[in-house]
Structure formats: C-alpha cells, structure tokens
Amino acid sequence: MKMSNTENKTFTKARTKSLVRWMFTSCNSLNYEKQLSLAYAYSMLPVLQEVYKDKPEDLKKSMTAHLQFFNCTPWVCPYILGLNVGIEENEGAKSLETVTSLKTALMGPLSALGDTVMITIPWTIFGAIASYMALEGNVFGIILWLIVSLVLLGLSFPFFKAGLISGMSLIDSLNEKMASITAAVSTIGLMVVGALIPSVVKANVAFQYKMGDVTLKIQDLLDQIMPNLVPALLAVFVYYLLGKNKMTPVKVIGILLVFSILCYVLGILK
C-alpha cells in the first residue's frame, strides 16, 4: 500500500505521536523476558492503527510481531522505529518478517554505537564537568546536565527521519527483491544473536582435577576444545525448552535460576 504525498511528509500526527511515545516511555516497561518490546509496540501503535484501520487481523499480527524480544540503546532506537514505519506503511502486514529481521540485525550494531556515542562519551565528559560544578556550588552544573540530556533526546528526531527515509528508499528501490532481503537480514540477525551468547551468558565449570602438584582446570580444557562451549550448550538447552508448547520464557527463566543456584552450591559452575 502506497501512501499519498501528503501522508509521506516526515512528521505526520501519527508518526510524531509514535516517536514522542518512544522518547518518554522507552525504558518504562523494561523486563527480563522481552526487554523493551512493550514500549516499542506501544510506540508503534498510533502508526499501526492508521495503517491497518480497516484490517483488524493484520493489526493483531503486527502488534504480536512487535511484542517479541527487542533490546537496543534507547537513544538510537528512533532510527529503527523510523525504518519500521517507512517499510510497514508501504508494504503492510506482508513486510512483518522483513521488519522483524531488520530489528534483530540492527539491535547489536546500533547498541554498540549508541552505548559509546550517546552514553559513555557525553556522560563521562559532561557528567564529570556538571558534577564538579555542582559540588563547587555552581548551579550551572545542573543546567549543563539538563541541556546535554535534552540535546541527546532531541537527536531522536533526525534519527527517526533518517530511518524513515532509509525504509522508504528500501521499498522503492528493492520492492521486487524483498524475499532475498528478508533472507539475508534474517541470516545477519541470527549471526548477531549467536555472537551475543558468549558476552551475555556467563557460565564456567568449577571442577578441577588434581594429581600431586599438578592441577588441571576443566574450564581451561573446555576452552581449548571450543571457547564458550558451556554458554553455547546452555543456549541450545534454552532453545530446546522454548520449543515445547507449554514452556513460556518466564518458566525458562525460573528453571535457569534454580539450575544456576544448584550448580553453584554443588560447586559445578561458577
């Protein structure tokens, strides 16, 4: 479905409402199961209600898709939001697989960029200056920090616009190749998720084999066979559990919690 020239202006009422919702609610519903997905779906809703106003079933499909796991540095997420809007406004429900794959593929790279450029650098530099001034009794320290925060928040608008333009350009130039794009981006998304395993999942074998003065650490032996083998096996185990019909993410988290405590108490893992 193609939008008219009037509707294609960057900040329509629905688009602006979606962006503002994200700017002020992005972390309000942060949870261990889906991270920022509730805020993302809530932010997309104004646009989706407009896109699927005569298609309630497609609206349900879209909301369900956007309620899946999503985690990215909130300050750079407006780019993904704009990309999503640009594609879904034009292609509707048939673009959901592509949109989901793009979101998954971009989470890691944009988080790495956002954590450095939008958090570490400005917070370290301006945070140190502002806190020092405040400690010295200079009220401008507070004002400086507020200004920096507002500038970072204000960058949401150009990020959203850039994402929107990228999404619409992608559709206009590569519309006939959407299946190939979806397959390629899905592969990238899986690679990103796989690469996250060793950095997110921490599990080391605590067993040690001793003979005389020689001590053999089982973890070192496993690392020689395959680094991060235990985290990889745990990820496969979780994937297996999630494949069962009655197994929800909350139940899996509970099982892992109990399993981790038992392994630590028994000296199996550390």
pLDDT for the residue numbered 6: 38
233 in a domain, yes or no?
Answer: yes
For 124, the domain range is: 13-197
Domain membership of residue 172 (yes or no) is yes
- Is 52 domain-assigned? yes
The verdict on 208 and 187 lying in the same domain is no
Q: What is the pLDDT of residue 186?
A: 63
Instruction: Mark which of 163, 197, 231 sits at the end of a domain.
Output: 197
Say whether both 19 and 148 belong to one domain.
Answer: yes
In this prediction, residue 45 carries a pLDDT of 93
> Which of 182, 197, 212 is the last residue before a domain boundary?
197
230 and 217 share a domain? yes
pLDDT along the chain (270 residues), means of 10: 49 90 88 88 93 91 91 90 89 85 84 82 83 85 89 90 82 57 65 72 78 76 81 85 80 87 84
Residues 246 and 176 in one domain: no
- Taking only the tens place, the pLDDT of each residue in 54-85 is 899 999 999 999 999 898 888 989 999 999 99
Residues 54 and 127 in one domain: yes
Q: Are 126 and 236 found together in one domain? A: no
Out of 177, 197, 217, pick the residue that ends a domain.
197
Number of domains in the chain: 2
Q: Based on the domain organization, do 81 and 210 belong to the same domain? A: no
Mention every residue, 6+ apart, whose C-beta is less than 8 A from residue 32. 253
Q: Are residues 72 and 119 in the same domain?
A: yes
Same domain, 186 and 219: no
Q: Is 6 within the bounds of a domain?
A: no
